[in-house]
Amino acid sequence: MTAIASLICVALALTAGLQEEPVVSTGLFNQPLQRLAQIRQLQQVEPDKRDKNVDSTAVTPERPFQRGEIRDNTATVTELNTRWDESRLSLITGFDVPTTQQSGPEIVGSSAAEVAVQKWIDEGTAVGHRSILYDNRDRDHSNLNRSKFPHLAFVEYDAAAKKAQADWGLRIGQAFDLPTFGNSSTSHVGSPFWRSNPRSVLTDDLLTKIVYNEFVNNQMYCYPEHNDFDPEHGDVYPANTPFWVISQGSSGSDQQFMDAIALTLAAFRPDVRAKLIESHWLMSVVQMLLRRSQKSVQSDDDYLTGKAHPVVFQPSELDTLRMVQLAHDLTINKLPAMAQIQVIEEDLGVPGRDYFHPHAAEKLFDTPAAVARVFRTTAVSRRMIVDASTSAELSGRLLRFRWSVLQGDPEKVQIRLLDDKGTRAEIVFQWHPRTAIPNLKGMETNRLDIGVFADNGQTLSLPAFLSSFTLANEDRTYVDGRIQTIDYGSPGISDRYVDPMIDIPKRWRDEYQYSAEMKPLGWVRTLPGSEPQEFAADGRIVIKKDDAGNPGEFRTIQYEAELNEKQVPVLKVMVAP
């Protein structure tokens, strides 16, 4: 249900407001949605029941392809210079880099950062914007100032691409073969599924994997948080990731960050940026520099804390001059490693017993750069073993790893390193109630973030993130590490916003029962206006008791999702015959 609904949201965003002009098109720009829909259909069928004649890796028919030319610093996306790449599940548009160098300054401006970067370019120690694309995906609503970056290639879209909405909103399945940064100062509004562009991805493993794949192919975009990180609802992001830059605010709040990224990409030394592009590490290092140059981050110790790694970036923390200086100071032998993680073991709850959802729903997504879980189980804590041995180092230096709680209560998190280099760790973290975010007035969160940093002895890497998200509309009580009650209808708590893509609201109260030896016996469920219901420890409902009052007959309970008249999921509870 969650994955399908997420796809629906993306489809609505991509198909809204289609232009009516007649356009000659073969339908190529519809390929991403069509391929995603095919994958969804296959995912709904058990592997042993799938039609063996249906190829799960769709083959796109051969079609003419010719790399595009960048003319007058404009790179136009057309069907001819675009083709499907199954390995990236994306359309990739290709451009040739112009062979002739432009004359005149590359950076036009008077700020200290702008002057410094142009000086380095004049000296030949900074690379400038050659071979870099800028992609605006809000139709110039919040466009980069072209006059400030006269050598930067700006992406445009032809009529066929525009008709398919290839130029609008979050870029799922639309990418480039040159390093690209961009933005879309847009969001999803006007429905129960309102959200910023990044949140439309974070509830879906497949979409998150596609965005990660583009991130490690030198592509990164900026998006405003637009109501996803504000006092009214708090921090509603279920995960922290490095795939994009999320700016505090709405339309136009991305501008300062776009300028900083543009200047940073130009400030790299030529050999350094070439190495980063070749290694697919360019945007990982840009992210590291953005975080390392935050005004409140003045040391390695600061960088290892949440100060440097917020889910949403504040413009007041941006230090563009320091960011470009750090970029220019990087040399080949000072490049950071790339931290990558994978979950080896973990505790997972059982649907219908440990939480009440139509299906297993504690794993949000897994990528090497970020892993996210929803803490649904009634257990007071969860255990995971996380491995970082696939992390990479360009110069072959030995890596040591640092594990740090970036957000959350350190007293509720235990990290035990399983080898002397910290390559693998056992993490046990407790359920986290809603808590205040330090130094942000009125802001609260339900997310725990843990960062895994690779240390090569020269430069600390961008962390890989492990996030655990609890549900803000649950009122839980634990005593001596055992669940006592969960109230899903508690006044002032049950009405808190929780993403309908993650949780289906409930309105009952469960009180858990234990034997004298503290063995779980089950729970009593109370719904407003109804008689209490008893459940066994395995989740079955008690239908009948014997003369001594002991449960004697049980029925299995099924929890299913239905869409109401507003197309919002509601939970349907059914007793099996």
Beta bridge partner(s), residue 120: none
Cα separation of 322 and 453, whole Å? 22
pLDDT at 324 over 70: yes
Mean pLDDT over all residues of the chain? 93
pLDDT at 45 over 80: no
**Is the Cβ–Cβ distance between 275 and 394 less than 8 Å?**
yes
Please report, rounded to a whole number, the percentage of residues in the chain having pLDDT higher than 70. 93
Mean of pLDDT values over 260-277: 98
Domain co-membership, 371 together with 237: no
Top-confidence residue, 6 or 39: 39
pLDDT tens-digit map of 428-449: 999 999 999 999 999 999 999 9
Cα separation of 95 and 85, whole Å? 15
Cα separation of 126 and 119, whole Å? 9
Structure tokens at 61: 């028919």
What's the distance, CA 249 to chain centroid? Answer: 18
Cα separation of 308 and 313, whole Å? 9
> Among the three residues 399, 434, 469, which one is the final residue of a domain in this structure?
469
pLDDT at 460 over 60: yes
Q: How many CB atoms lie within 10 A of CB 554?
A: 18
Domain co-membership, 319 together with 374: no
**Is the Cβ–Cβ distance between 449 and 308 less than 8 Å?**
no
Identify residue 44 by its one-letter amino acid code. Q
Domain co-membership, 259 together with 401: no
Number of structural domains the chain divides into: 3
Domain co-membership, 54 together with 21: yes
Domain co-membership, 449 together with 495: no
Mean of pLDDT values over 531-557: 93
Question: Among 451, 492, 444, 452, which Cα is nearest to 470's?
Answer: 444
Domain co-membership, 295 together with 366: no
pLDDT tens-digit map of 159-203: 999 999 999 999 799 999 999 999 999 999 988 999 999 999 999
Domain co-membership, 382 together with 498: no
Beta bridge partner(s), residue 135: 182
SS (H, E, C) 361-426: CCEEEECCCEEEEECCCCCCEEEEEEECCCCECCCCCCCEEEEEEEECCHHHEEEEECCCCCCEEE
SS (H, E, C) 511-540: EEEECCCCCEEEEEEECCCCCCEEEECCCC
Cα separation of 91 and 31, whole Å? 8
Claim: this prediction has a pTM higher than 0.75 = yes
> Among the three residues 310, 334, 358, which one is the final residue of a domain in this structure?
334
Give the up-direction half-sphere exposure of residue 289: CA atoms within 13 A in the CB hemisphere: 28
Beta bridge partner(s), residue 440: none
Domain co-membership, 250 together with 383: no
What is the pLDDT at residue 50?
59
Cα separation of 498 and 518, whole Å? 33
pLDDT at 561 over 60: yes
- Dihedral sign computed on CA atoms, order 430, 431, 436, 440: positive
Mutual orientation of helices 255-267 and 282-292 as an angle, nearest 10°? Answer: 120
Structure tokens at 486: 């969960």
Q: How confident is the model at residue 58 (pLDDT cuts 50, 70, 90)?
A: low
Strand order of the sheet with strand 464-469? 363-366, 370-374, 464-469, 447-455, 400-407
pLDDT at 59 over 70: no
**Is the Cβ–Cβ distance between 350 and 558 less than 8 Å?**
no
360: CATH? 2.60.40
What is the pLDDT at residue 116?
98
Cα separation of 434 and 475, whole Å? 10
How are beta strands 557-563 and 569-575 bridged, if at all? antiparallel
Please report, rounded to a whole number, the percentage of residues in the chain having pLDDT higher than 90. 85
What is the pLDDT at residue 47?
65
Q: How many CB atoms lie within 10 A of CB 517?
A: 5
Structure tokens at 241: 């990731």
**How big is the chain, counted in residues?**
577
Q: How many CB atoms lie within 10 A of CB 263?
A: 26
> Structural domain of residue 52, as residue ranges?
2-334
Domain co-membership, 479 together with 464: no
The stretches of 330-372 forming alpha helices (DSSP H) are: none
pLDDT tens-digit map of 271-306: 999 999 999 999 999 999 999 999 999 999 999 999
Domain co-membership, 115 together with 245: yes
> Among the three residues 454, 469, 484, which one is the final residue of a domain in this structure?
469
Domain co-membership, 15 together with 91: yes
Q: How confident is the model at residue 410 (pLDDT cuts 50, 70, 90)?
A: very high
Domain co-membership, 268 together with 163: yes
> 292 vs 33, 270, 317, 408, 434, CA distance in Å?
37, 21, 11, 21, 28
